[in-house]
Amino acid sequence: MKSLKYFILFSVIMLLSSCVTKFIPEIDEKRELVVVEGMITDQPGINTIKLYKSLPLGRKIAAVPLRGCVVTITDDLGNSSKLYESVYGTYVTKAAEFCGVVGRKYTLKILTNNISTNNYSYESLPMEMKPVPPIDNIFYEKEVIEEASQGVQLKEGCQVYLSTSDPENNCKLFRWDYVETWEFRLPYDVPNRICWVTNNSSKITIKNTSALTENRISRYPLSFISNETDRLKIKYSMLVNQYSLNGDEYVYWEKMQNMTESVGSLYDITPASVSSNVFCIEDPNEKVLGYFSVSAKTSKRLFIEEAFSGVIDLYPGCPSDTIPGSRTVIPNLGRLVWVIIDGTLDMPPYRVLTNDKNCADCSIRGSNVKPLFWDSNK
């Protein structure tokens, strides 16, 4: 069932006058709770558990890590693996020593060695690693956002779909996340012109197939790419990770999704805290945030290199000044202004300046190092 979030839009138009404005709440409490953020998968490589204190809302500071904890992961066969602290508060498994196995149940144990946590110890419920099928297909379809009409250019977006199936019915609870990378080019001939931006998905995407007769997901709308960004201008790629979930974790994500995504309507769910699968041993009433995820994982990559119409130009207002001549000394060059068009060889010579460094150097927004996988679709 689609959420009721359109109610807000609806009331906007129905009354032609409802409105939404930004609001910064005044909060008089300072809560710092222990956060356990971690996931282990069946993929080779390191698994990371992060331990830190939660941040007050709107605070732009870095979280305070919990240093010097003893973190171990045990399974139901009695195996135990100790993690080591790679950076403050970040505990990782040794790639050679630990790899998740489908069907086993894993428990996370944490002994804090920290005054701020009263030296309490924390432990998760035993979490089963469920198998996950491979992603059958990731594909996209062009969608018309706005038809061309008088004075209006055709605007196109792109809907990315995912299909997967598990005929053996081992996996019925799915979660996905993705990493998107796209190439962009500055419209000026500057030294750093071609760059790549990488962005992580920030939406909870889960699916329960137990209500379907056939364990098959076809055309799951994973992401819609609008024409409001330059993702579709040159080339775009998306790496989708598919995770299996056990029942407990599915419920956790579902509750989170209910509370974070169906907001802003007339019928918001009363928010409440969602309980973690990690508990404090000494004080069972202490609230622990976060979740210890145990999932099998498969991945697939998609490339989009087609021309889309009406994609927005992010650099329309770059030129801020034109300086005639080739010898004029430009104050603050390289600090507050940058050259984007160098016409010093033209007659008469001129230079076009910008005061937005983004227009002169693509590495401000992205990286000028081409990702390794970038040409792998060729």
In the region spanning residues 308 to 337, those forming contacts with other proteins, defined by CB under 8 A, are: none
User: Would you tell me how many other CB atoms lie within 10 Å of the CB of residue 186?
Assistant: 20
Question: Cα–Cα–Cα angle for 327, 331, 333, nearest 5°?
Answer: 85
In the region spanning residues 66 to 85, those forming contacts with other proteins, defined by CB under 8 A, are: none
212 contributes a contact to other proteins by CB under 8 A: yes
Site string for other proteins, 10-49 (x = CB under 8 A): xx-xxxxxxxxxxxxx-x-x-xxx-x-x-x----------
Q: Which is nearer to other proteins, 280 or 359 (CB)?
A: 280
Q: How far is the CB of 134 from other proteins (least distance, A)?
A: 20
Q: Which is nearer to other proteins, 241 or 354 (CB)?
A: 241
- Stretch near other proteins under the rule CB under 8 A, chosen from 72-80, 281-289, 305-313, 364-372: 281-289
177 contributes a contact to other proteins by CB under 8 A: yes
Question: Of the candidates 70, 102, 206, 274, which one interacts with other proteins according to CB under 8 A?
Answer: 274
Cα(22)–Cα(120) distance, integer angstroms: 39
DSSP 57: T
CB 66 within 8 A of CB 117: yes
Retrieve residue 79's tokens. 């195996």
Cα(297)–Cα(188) distance, integer angstroms: 42
Site string for other proteins, 226-255 (x = CB under 8 A): ---------------------x------xx
As a whole number of Å, the CA-based R_g of the chain is 25
Question: Cα–Cα–Cα angle for 155, 161, 166, nearest 5°?
Answer: 175
Retrieve residue 56's tokens. 């007050």
Q: Which is nearer to other proteins, 13 or 347 (CB)?
A: 13
Region of residue 317 (left: phi > 0; alpha: psi -120 to 50; beta: else): alpha
Question: Of the candidates 100, 133, 157, 290, which one interacts with other proteins according to CB under 8 A?
Answer: 290
